Structure 1
């Protein structure tokens, strides 16, 4: 397992600095370049597989990301996906370039052979991406209605499994701290399948309580604020089990619980999503759903190259499974 010392050595900073950055310590005064370098090193060191290079494929691929660079550092899920894309592209001898959606234009995109769009895009944005006349593969949502190949994770199955796990361990008061997202252009709410499945499955068991569900932005600050609000609102009725929308949100959730002297996992068990590098370095370490972001990125490259070879190929939706990584934050 990669250690904080390994990250510190690779990033060229102190162990203390790495620890504080991985725990999103907002009292640490470091530049954004240093923060990004540490987070990127921590994620890249998780890659155990290193594919051998093959003769240069000669393809140029644009990764269009919907988040700004700053937003990406608060929710490392999309950064992980990009590393999967980069790793596969490198192994095939293809070149890639990251572009934010807001900076994309025809003059910049004309030299690429295809686009991998990473994030949640609305109709206006998808139409814009298609207007360049290049093959497009999307990661994050189902875009078959637009005739596009797409990849997403199975979030529904782990939600049901987490609820069953809580119940089997004697926890039937279950809450959720979830993220809320809007598309960039049309400002449409993005449906979160975790929230929908959480509501439906608990309702079917007669255990759903809308007062136990809190939603806000993804990121540690939001996680802290939402859990602090739940503690203030619910007092002794605070659920004994919480599902958290992302590991970065869970960092803030843990901080709020610790500030209120609420023991994790004895009083509150926490299970989050994504299994980014920070999940291993929190205290306690996070039990989390491992989303195979590296596989999603690799599969996107393969689907794009298939589309380049056969533009009339029937569009495909690939759903990638997940697995629970059991650590210290849950019983």
Structure 2
């Protein structure tokens, strides 16, 4: 029969302390012993109250919790992780915290993990592989139970560190036949091909484009330009912009294309934010969209249906990526069978009035 801890020490005597005489420590970190002394119980009882509260008498549990609240004690999770081999920490490494397109994925990824007893530590690479390498090294020293990435490109050193660490890893927002462990996303090169084919179906052959200088946008650019070239179209009006993208880059990008000789057809943009800027610049110049110039974006952000005119764009399920990434990561952590290590969530072109 199980027996609840009532706070008595091993010699049968309650380890009482005069609560009035115990003061909150003024220097140094609060320890488990400080909490035990204030609560009038042994350290084993405090440990059990933290890890298995159902095994501690309610009266004793109340005293321990009051002592924890009074002292501000924070349990040493690293020590617990060493004992259990679980840190209940998941690292999420993303290119930018200022780019809102990633927020929905992270939100749904984090919720599933929180509901499963894990906390998510967020790290930003600023689109730099060297920064990611440094961040991964730091994160691995904290012994996370798993790592989530947006993106599949890593330095050779980073890949080696992750493989040696031998922990579950899920890469997202892209596809590869050779993931580090698991990948949940879609093909950016196929997105580029689909946009080109969409414009060709509309008999639009004069095209300018504005692309962010990040790996995924450049894959879309590659698929787009190669598809046009396959159909005998040489699109020389191409503009690259830095990341993260912003509204002003769309206005400046269209200005550059026009200065280089572009005078109508379609402008393909690597993000909805850039496309929004292009629409604004076109309006300022008196260019009618889509009659004189069609515009496409990427991402189907919340403002896309409400631009003037509404923006044709590429939609993919950011929520689904977050949920599936969390599910497969948890399955790997728990040594459950995984049916798919490469998960393609697909995409679709949402046609609106800008084309």
Change (3 A) 1:161 1:136: closer
1:229 offset after TM fit, Å?
0.1
1:201 offset after TM fit, Å?
1.0
Q: How does 1:87-98 map to 2 (within 5 A)?
A: 87-90=111-114, 92=116, 94-98=118-122
Q: Which of 302, 305, 311 is 1:280 aligned to?
A: 305
Confirm or deny that 1:260 pairs with 2:285: yes
CA distance in 1, matches of 2:192, 2:216: 18
For 2:90, the equivalent position in structure 1 comes to 61
1:272 offset after TM fit, Å?
1.0
1:270 offset after TM fit, Å?
1.0
CA distance in 1, matches of 2:302, 2:217: 26
1:135 offset after TM fit, Å?
1.5
Change (3 A) 1:162 1:143: closer
CA distance in 2, matches of 1:314, 1:170: 42
1:153 offset after TM fit, Å?
1.6
Confirm or deny that 1:289 pairs with 2:314: yes
Q: Which of 296, 304, 311 is 1:271 aligned to?
A: 296
User: CA RMSD, aligned part only?
Assistant: 3.0
Task: Please identify the structure whose Cα radius of gyration is greater.
Answer: 2
Confirm or deny that 1:227 pairs with 2:260: no
1:206 offset after TM fit, Å?
0.9
For 2:151, the equivalent position in structure 1 comes to 119
Per-residue Cα deviation, 1:269-318 (whole angstroms, up to 9, x for no partner): 11111112232332222111112111111111112112213399798222
CA distance in 1, matches of 2:314, 2:139: 40
Confirm or deny that 1:149 pairs with 2:174: no
Please report the TM-score for the alignment, with normalisation by the length of structure 2: 0.64
For 1:46, the equivalent position in structure 2 comes to none
Q: Which of 149, 164, 169 is 2:202 aligned to?
A: 169
1:207 offset after TM fit, Å?
1.7
* Residue pair 1:296, 1:320 contacting (<8 A) in 2 also: yes
User: Secondary structure of the equivalent of 1:274?
Assistant: coil
For 1:248, the equivalent position in structure 2 comes to 273
* Residue pair 2:192, 2:222 contacting (<8 A) in 1 also: no
1:146 offset after TM fit, Å?
5.8
For 1:193, the equivalent position in structure 2 comes to 219
1:328 offset after TM fit, Å?
2.3
Residue segments in structure 2 that go unaligned for 5+ positions in a row: 1-86, 126-130
Moved more, 225-234 or 131-140: 131-140
1:142 offset after TM fit, Å?
4.2
CA distance in 1, matches of 2:326, 2:118: 10
Residue segments in structure 1 that go unaligned for 5+ positions in a row: 1-57, 182-188
Change (3 A) 1:106 1:176: closer
Aligned length: 259
Confirm or deny that 1:205 pairs with 2:231: yes
For 2:351, the equivalent position in structure 1 comes to 326
Q: Which has the higher contact order (CA 8 A, sep 6+)?
A: 1
Change (3 A) 1:100 1:109: farther
Change (3 A) 1:104 1:193: closer
1:200 offset after TM fit, Å?
1.5
Please report the TM-score for the alignment, with normalisation by the length of structure 1: 0.68
CA distance in 2, matches of 1:156, 1:247: 18
* Residue pair 2:188, 2:219 contacting (<8 A) in 1 also: yes
